[in-house]
Amino acid sequence: MSQKSFVWLCLLPLVLVTAAFFLLPMARLVVAGAEGPHGLAGYLATLTEGRYRATLINTVLLAAATTVVTLIVATIAGMFLQRHRFPGRAVLIAMLTFPLAFPGVVVGFMIILLAGRQGLIGDLSNRIFGEKLVFAYSIYGLFLGYLYFSIPRVILTIMAAVQKLDVGLEEAARSLGASPWAVQRDVVLPALAPAFVASGAIAFATAMGAFGTAFTLATNIDVLPMLIYTEFTLAANFATSAALSVGLGLITWLILALARTFSGSAVAAAG
Amino acid sequence: MNTAGHGAAVRIEACGKTFADGTRALDPATLDIARGETLVLLGPSGCGKTTMLRIIAGLELPDAGGKVLFDGKDMTSVPIERRNVGMVFQSYALFPNMTVADNIAYGLKIRGVAGGERAARVAELVALTNITGLENRRIDQLSGGQRQRVALARAVAIRPGILLLDEPLTALDAALRDRLRGELNRLLRALGITTIYVTHDQAEAMELGDRIVVMRKGAIAQIGTPREVYFAPKDRFVAEFIGAANIVEAPIDNGVLILPGGRLPIEGGATAANATVMIRPETIRVTDAGAGLLSGVVDSVSFIGDRQRLVVSGASSKPLNVDAPNTILAKVGDRIGLSIAPDALRLLPSEP
Ligand SMILES: Nc1ncnc2c1ncn2[C@@H]1O[C@H](COP(=O)(O)OP(=O)(O)O)[C@@H](O)[C@H]1O
Ligand SMILES: [Mg+2]
């Protein structure tokens, strides 16, 4: 048996599993999306019909905002944690990464505890301003929940990338007169760009598709996963929910691909 | 070139360095470097050369009491970005996200030099360092020697008052290192910047340095011109670290060194029961057996080309290395005579 056919033989189980559990259901989903009363036009409807389109835009904006804020917070925190040694550092890292294991439901629950009707923030604002601030059940609560969800993941990636930074590059830039800001802009951030793209992509995709948190905070938040859920379970509208699912996947994929080419060319242009 | 002669004089005063983990990298040292001088810090790995360079650069703070002065101005607490020093790192530390030209121009850009002037300066440096044609390359498309040149061009582009180089040739292979050493020497002379050059290679130190600071275990062992440290080493460490040296331990009787293979008159040698004496291999002359002051037997012969290295036993308590002209025919086992001029014997302080 040649080397090549041996490799193929080893890959065979993987190919079968991929086909059975990945490609087939996906194909079925794509077909289901076109099996509604309007046929293929059902896909078009997910973009043209007002309610669907608004939800789609909402979801993309929410995911984008989550990604940007997560990257900013996690970069500052990750850089600080990696570069400084202080008492309590290990505990702080453990606490920051503790939510890694939490499912969306728990995160939603924590948001309610924080900003819900009986929440901490409401209590506090009630005492200070005499008004109860409650935003857990709105898109802001969801935004906070997604941050809580993404930051630990991104911090870990950024910390690993910061550890690999060549300190010599920063010293070289400083010797040439660069201020601390210029060093960050010209040396550190470009070197971290691949980590931003990788961890940002995961944060974005997670925020696009996360369901548990939205479901826990529930009621009247319009994000795609919730819409799919209602169409599927409550309205039994299989075709629409399938079309929306395919749309969710496609749009996420498209935006990530764009981000990757853009940042890739940005790095190339800078270099 | 118009960069000539704008160096600063450097003085470091009682600069020691103890790192946070307790490592004593540098004992308090005081050192004066004249404007335009090339000073080489030479010593084995781990002796504190880089630490001293980084203190001068402003990348490390000296221990309390230490001071760094440029042209008499106290710079100790001035950060590196405001010291106007050019620095070439051992790893070169070129910016991977920039082209060769952008790397060279970076310091000028930071200083707000206009685009046209910047381009002119880059062109000047590219020509000076022999990297014409590579301006638009990325750093990962350069060879080691080319990187070294870009690093140097980038460091001198800002017209620094002081140029600091940390083993800039160590990462290169031997042939390239020799060639670049000559090039670097001409360039440093042409620029006239005050230069502090770190190396563990004594040949490099000899060729490049106006003065050499020989360092050992965080302390300065000797400061002197290449000739001074070569011909008049202060102690056994310097003698052995710089060039090849025979260290002979023997009694001196009334200005004569008493060796197993004969007696050698020594300049300024008072009577001593056990003296330590350095003899450079090239100062030993080979004569016919019986004609020299010493007599010994050839242990081995290595023909190097321009000369040959003989190892002769029996003359001293330990075998002597002798650099003989390449025309002498000596075979292993031959008995030969050796002569050494009295002023070629260098009395060293006995080690405690
Ligand atoms: N940041 C540091 N922390 C602790 N020890 C260090 C640090 N940098 C250097 N050292 C130690 O200080 C000594 C001198 O180092 P260095 O100046 O780099 O030597 P050299 O450049 O002569 O090889 C070495 O023993 C080294 O291990
Ligand atoms: Mg070093």
Q: pLDDT of A189-243, one tens digit each?
A: 999 988 998 899 889 998 988 888 888 887 667 888 888 888 888 877 888 888 8
Whether ligand 1 lies within 6 angstroms of the CB of B23 is answered as yes
* Alpha-carbon distance B351 to nearest alpha carbon in chain A (angstroms): 40
**B1 at the A interface (CB within 8 A)?**
no
CA of A34 to the centre of ligand 2 (A): 68
- Given a cut of 70, whether residue B4 has pLDDT beyond it is no
Q: How many residues does chain B have?
A: 352
pLDDT score, position A101: 84
- The residue-averaged pLDDT of B296-320 equals 93
- From B17, B21, B23, B215, mutation site for ligand 1 pocket: most ligand atoms within 8 A of C-beta: B23
What's chain B's average pLDDT? 92
pLDDT at B201: 94
**What is the rounded distance in angstroms from the CA atom of residue A80 to the CA atom of residue A101?**
23
Residues 6+ apart with CB under 8 A from A264: A197
- Taking alpha carbons only, the member of B59, B68, B57, B58 closest to residue B29 is B68
* B48 Cβ inside 6 Å of ligand 1: yes
Q: What atom of ligand 1 comes closest to residue B26's alpha carbon?
A: 14
Torsion sign over Cα A251, A257, A260, A266: negative
pLDDT tens track for B70-128:
999 999 999 999 999 999 999 999 999 999 999 999 999 999 999 999 999 999 999 98
Chain A residues in contact with B93 (beta carbon < 8 A): 166, 168-169, 171-172
Percent over 90 (pLDDT), chain B? 80
Task: Look at residue A221 in the predicted model and tell me its pLDDT.
Answer: 72
- For the CA of B166, the closest atom of ligand 1 is 21
B21 Cβ below 6 A of ligand 1: yes
Per the CB < 8 A criterion, the answer to whether B93 and B170 are in contact is no
The angle, 0 to 180 degrees and rounded to 10, between the axes of the packed helices B144-157 and B174-191 is 20
**Which atom of ligand 1 lies at the shortest distance from residue B51's CA?**
17
The predicted pLDDT at position A29 comes to 86
Ligand 1 center from residue A52 Cα (angstroms): 64
- Say what the pLDDT of residue B339 is: 94
Residues in chain A with pLDDT < 70?
A: 1, 219-220, 264-271
DSSP letters of B275-292? EEEEE-GGGEEEE-TTTS
Name, in order, each residue with C-beta under 8 angstroms of B187's C-beta and a sequence gap of 6 or more: B128, B129, B152
Query: Is it the case that residue B264 has pLDDT exceeding 80?
Result: yes
Q: For B80, which residue in chain A has the nearest alpha carbon? A: A175
What burial letters (b/e) apply to B28-53, b meaning 16+ CB within 10 Å?
Answer: bbebebebbbbbbbbbeeebbbbbbb
CB neighbours (10 Å) of residue A226? Answer: 20
Average pLDDT over residues B9-24: 95
For residue A55, give the H/E element and its range. Answer: helix A50-83
Beta strand B294-303 with B335-340: parallel, antiparallel or unpaired?
antiparallel
For B156-166, how does the pLDDT look when each residue is reduced to its tens digit (9 = 90+)? 999 999 999 99
Alpha helices in chain B (DSSP H): 49-57, 100-110, 115-128, 144-157, 174-191, 202-208, 226-231, 236-241
CB B319 within 8 A of CB B312: yes
Q: Pick B97's closest partner by Cβ from A172, A175, A267.
A: A267
Centre a 10 Å sphere on the Cβ of residue A222 and count the other Cβ atoms it contains. 18
- Average pLDDT of span B59-77: 95
Instruction: Quote the pTM value.
Output: 0.83
Buried b (16+ CB within 10 A) or exposed e, A113-141: ebbbeebebbeebeeeeeeeebbbbebeb
Q: Characterize the bridge pairing of strands B307-313 and B246-253.
A: unpaired
Comparing CA positions, the residue from B210, B295, B233 lying closest to residue B259 is B295
Closest residue (by CA) to atom 13 of ligand 1? B25
B210-217: average pLDDT: 96
The token pair at A53 is: 């389109």
Residue B236 has pLDDT above 60, yes or no: yes
- Residue of A172, A182, A187 lying closest to B89 (CB–CB): A172
**Would an 8 Å CB–CB cutoff place A165 in contact with chain B?**
no
Q: For residue A171, give the nearest of B59, B97, B158 by CB distance.
A: B59
Rg (CA), chain A: 23
